[in-house]
Amino acid sequence: MARFRAARVLELAGAFFGERGRGYAVIVRGSWDGDIEAALRERGLTPMADSPCMLIESPLAEPAIPPGIRIERFDSEQRVMDAVRVNAEAYEAIKLPAEETRVFFGRPAALLSKKIVGFVAYRDTVPVATALTILSGENAGIYWVGTAAPARRSGLGEICTRLTTNAGFASGASVVTLQASPFGEPIYARLGYKTYDRLLRYRLPERK
């Protein structure tokens, strides 16, 4: 396998995307990619996101569902699209444009796989929180935890996290992992998730 110095990696990436007139992101793992991180900082770049990598090794207490809230599993494309609706709004708070979130969910039927367990919380008929777990043998990963603005600080994101965490263990996982946002990190830490690494995301060219 070919190996390149950090400066050469960035040079090749810049040339590839530059020819196509596109920006791109570099994701740096704190414990592995110190040389690339140093090269980016030498260019005066700062990370647009700093996400702790967290894990937990035992199930959580099952959550109590508040009155007026119902939780549904992903059992139809409509449930998936309700989750997209929540996250298209929620992730704008960490500077992910809504249209990019919708691109990630461009094939909603794929999320009805047996390898994915997702939940949507509804207040009456309105979707207000969501999370999903991807199952992978002895491991499971939590993704796309989001809460709509009117329901923030209501504990619904935590409820969905508890449910998806436990779904991972119920599937046979011995460890469940996630990458936290600044908003989610203290919640996950309170639940018992531990930080084992960090992911830094740089955008090139940097937006002013």
What integer pLDDT is reported at residue 107 of this predicted model? Answer: 93
Q: Which residue has the tokens 């600044």?
A: 182
Take residue 203 and report the two structure tokens written for it: 């955008």
Contact status, residue 87 vs residue 144, Cβ threshold 8 Å: yes
In a domain, 68, yes or no: yes
What integer pLDDT is reported at residue 137 of this predicted model? Answer: 87
Residues 6+ apart with CB under 8 A from 162: 60, 61, 62, 63, 191
Contact status, residue 53 vs residue 198, Cβ threshold 8 Å: yes
pTM of the model: 0.85
Count the domains in the chain.
2
What integer pLDDT is reported at residue 97 of this predicted model? Answer: 86
Claim to verify: residue 37 and residue 90 sit in the same structural domain: no
% of residues, the chain, pLDDT over 70: 97
Claim to verify: residue 62 and residue 101 sit in the same structural domain: yes
Question: Rounded mean pLDDT of 116-125?
Answer: 97
For residue 191, the domain's CATH number is: 3.40.630.30
What integer pLDDT is reported at residue 2 of this predicted model? Answer: 52
Claim to verify: residue 185 and residue 94 sit in the same structural domain: yes
What integer pLDDT is reported at residue 182 of this predicted model? Answer: 80
pLDDT at 102 over 50: yes
Take residue 173 and report the two structure tokens written for it: 């996982």
At residue 44, what are phi and psi to the nearest 5 degrees? 85, 15
Q: Which residues sit opposite 119 in a β-bridge?
A: 73, 131
Residue 75, CA distances (Å) to 68, 103, 112, 161 in order? 21, 20, 7, 18
Claim to verify: residue 38 and residue 66 sit in the same structural domain: no
pLDDT at 142 over 60: yes
Q: State the pLDDT confidence band at 140, using cuts at 50, 70 and 90.
A: very high
Burial 46-63 (b: 16+ CB within 10 A, else e): ebebbbbbbbbeebbeeb
Contact status, residue 121 vs residue 83, Cβ threshold 8 Å: no
Claim to verify: residue 70 and residue 168 sit in the same structural domain: yes
Average pLDDT of the chain is 93
pLDDT tens sequence across 147-204:
999 999 899 999 999 999 999 999 999 999 999 988 889 999 999 999 999 999 999 9
In a domain, 69, yes or no: yes
What integer pLDDT is reported at residue 31 of this predicted model? Answer: 87
Contact status, residue 176 vs residue 55, Cβ threshold 8 Å: yes
In a domain, 175, yes or no: yes
pLDDT tens sequence across 47-83:
988 899 999 999 999 999 999 999 999 999 999 999 9
Show the domain range for 26: 6-45
Q: State the pLDDT confidence band at 27, using cuts at 50, 70 and 90.
A: very high
Claim to verify: residue 32 and residue 86 sit in the same structural domain: no
What integer pLDDT is reported at residue 1 of this predicted model? Answer: 44
Question: Rounded mean pLDDT of 107-131?
Answer: 96
What integer pLDDT is reported at residue 208 of this predicted model? Answer: 54
Claim to verify: residue 84 and residue 151 sit in the same structural domain: yes
